A and B are shown apart, each in its own frame.
Chain A
Amino acid sequence: MTEYNKAQQDIVDEFSVFEDWLDRYNYLIELGNDLPGIDPKYRSNEYLINGCQSKVWLHADLVDGRLIFNADSDAIIVKGIVALLVKLMNERTPSEILENELTFIDGIGLRQNLSPTRSNGLLAMVKKMRLYAMAYQAKENQNKES
């Protein structure tokens, strides 16, 4: 098992102690509250991933070959899920993000929240996180070649 997938398994294990849905949500609310909000300069339309029901903002930098994500949402439960995604993908190399599949969302029963019809910005956010990884990977490869 890759380190990345082990981290996903850890999240699933963390959630397995909650039998009740409301406890799961309580935990997500906690995670959402603990995630520092996005730097105000990124809380703008340029970094906005618009869902009809809630909004997500996302920005990523590459520092020493690893992605640093900065993300936020206006809905706290969505922000909790954002926090989990950031926790998993932060400080990873682009190839780690691109080579591993995202499985923990299914594992903790939050798949519905990533449905294209939910329109809460999360699915688009996951795609955008991978796009950042792809873009930075391409940039790195270019730098190596030149």
Chain B
Amino acid sequence: MGLNIKQIRSDFPILSQQVYKKPLVYLDNGATTQKPQVVIDTIRELQESQNSSIHRGIHYLSEQMTGRYEAARETVRAFLNADSANEIIFTSGATGSINTVAFSFGEKYVSAGDEILISEMEHHSNIVPWQMLCERKGAQLKVIPFNENGELKLEILDELLTKRTKIVALSHASNSMGTINPVKEVIEKAHAKDIAVLIDGAQMVQHGEVDVKELDCDFYVFSSHKIFGPTGSGVLYGKESLLEELPPYQGGGDMVDQVSFERTTYNTLPFKFEAGTSNYTGAIGLGVALEYLHSVGLEKIASYEKELSRYTLGKLARIDRLKIYGNAANRISVFSFLLQNIHTYDAGLILDKMGIAVRTGTHCTQPVMDHFGIDGTIRASLVFYNTREEIDVLAEGIRKTMEMLS
């Protein structure tokens, strides 16, 4: 049984609107995804009748909210197949999660002369926190390059994993080229040399099942708003034994055990990493989004998107003078392309007025653009609520854009 797309689309109220009197064709899911009605209702309900700070309040509302927050943590645990809810830290998003690890892991394990290994296709948020760490510690940032198809050159991975490498930080899927990286292979090779691995799943979790135990990664991060949940929330998964050893990232309320001016002791996991009043509405909303995904079926979503990707690639390939950047064999439904010498900003403006929302520019991956010697691309990023009909509208829109601009 495939997906009932009509039903699914009606679950997302934003999708049925018109923009500039044209039906909205939303193909900017790589930037953020839309929210199903259940998530919207949950946020509203939490504000209307449940709002209360979590963990420390002894009263009814606080009890209720705390219960739902911790239930959301359990939902995330099950979603990632982690061993324990202690391994699930709620953060402000994938960026917040990476910064947490770059700081806490860096404080504990990285010193002058050590190396951090990332890849050439990383989002800026999986580059800059590591650069900042390298600057703090006098460590070195090393990069796994990719080939013309946008696939990692794993043949040189062994060389890049040296005695000084402390951690590998790698995207599960590329936000600008759509490549799915063979993270399991990288993790195995790194672990063979006793090197920790962080996987940035911001562009992967919304496209299918992820199992952190099967991957055996040390850290896994993602953002709520890219997986149909509220913005401003995200997840850091870390192996419990590793998280135990790391110092906290930020100090504040809730992350402490005893505080005096002489000495402070820290709370246990996962609270040690959740300083301050956390975004409980975001976390609970994320939990509801994950439950919604389960009800649709992650496997069904993956196979539907695979089919939609095939269709999209076929359509785009038939457009003359359109060049796709990123042709990995294993990919998510994210497509970057250029229309001959047409400026991406011009194309974005015109497609917008046809009701088509795409992203133009560098997609926070300037090194990827430098690799190809281009200033940016047009990116269409699809999820399971997108349809073949929308791809037809996109293809027609591209043709019209090229007509206008050439």
Contacts and interface: CB of A to CB of B under 8 A. Distances in A.
Interface of A: 21-22, 25-26, 29, 52-54, 74-78, 120
Given A22-B404, A29-B404, A53-B376, A75 B20 contact: no
Contacts of B360: 53
Given A22-B353, A29-B405, A120-B345, 15 more contacts: A22-B350, A22-B354, A22-B404, A25-B349, A25-B353, A26-B404, A52-B361, A53-B344, A53-B360, A53-B361, A54-B343, A75-B346, A77-B346, A77-B349, A77-B350
Interface in B306-359: 343-346, 348-350, 353-354
A22 B375 CA distance: 25
25 contacts: A22-B350, A22-B353, A22-B354, A22-B404, A25-B350, A26-B404, A29-B346, A52-B361, A52-B362, A53-B345, A53-B348, A53-B376, A54-B343, A75-B343, A75-B345, A76-B343, A76-B346, A76-B405, A77-B345, A77-B346, A77-B349, A77-B350, A78-B345, A78-B346, A120-B345
Contacts, number: 40
Contacts of A52: 361-362
Of A25, A52, A54, most B-chain CB atoms within 10 Å: A54
Name the residue in B349, B360, B375, B405 with the highest tally of chain A Cβ atoms < 10 Å from its Cβ.
B349
Contacts of B20: 21
A6 B215 CA distance: 68
Contacts of A29: 346, 404-405
Contacts of B362: 52
Interface of B: 20, 343-346, 348-350, 353-354, 360-362, 375-376, 400, 404-405
Given A52-B361, A53-B360, A25 B404 contact: yes
B174 to A, nearest CB: 20
A54 B345 contact: yes
A54 B348 CA distance: 12
Contacts of B348: 53
Nearest to B353: A21
Which of B346, B375, B405 has the largest count of A CB atoms less than 10 A from its CB? Answer: B346
Contacts of B343: 54, 74-76
Contacts of A78: 345-346
Contacts of B405: 29, 76
A43 to B, nearest CB: 15
Central interface residue in B343, B345, B348, B405, by most chain A CB within 10 Å: B345
Q: Which 10 A-B pairs have the closest CB atoms?
A: A75-B343, A21-B353, A75-B345, A54-B345, A53-B345, A77-B346, A75-B346, A76-B346, A53-B361, A77-B349
Contacts of A77: 345-346, 349-350
Contacts of B349: 25, 77
Contacts of B344: 53
Contacts of A120: 345
Contacts of B361: 52-53
A26 B406 CA distance: 11
Nearest to A33: B405
A67 B15 CA distance: 49
Contacts of B353: 21-22, 25
B396 to A, nearest CB: 13
A83 B400 CA distance: 24
A74 B360 CA distance: 14
A26 B349 CA distance: 12
Nearest to B20: A21
Nearest to B400: A22
Nearest to B366: A52
B72 to A, nearest CB: 32
A99 B361 CA distance: 36
The listed residue with most B CB atoms (<10 A of its CB), out of A25, A78, A120, is: A25
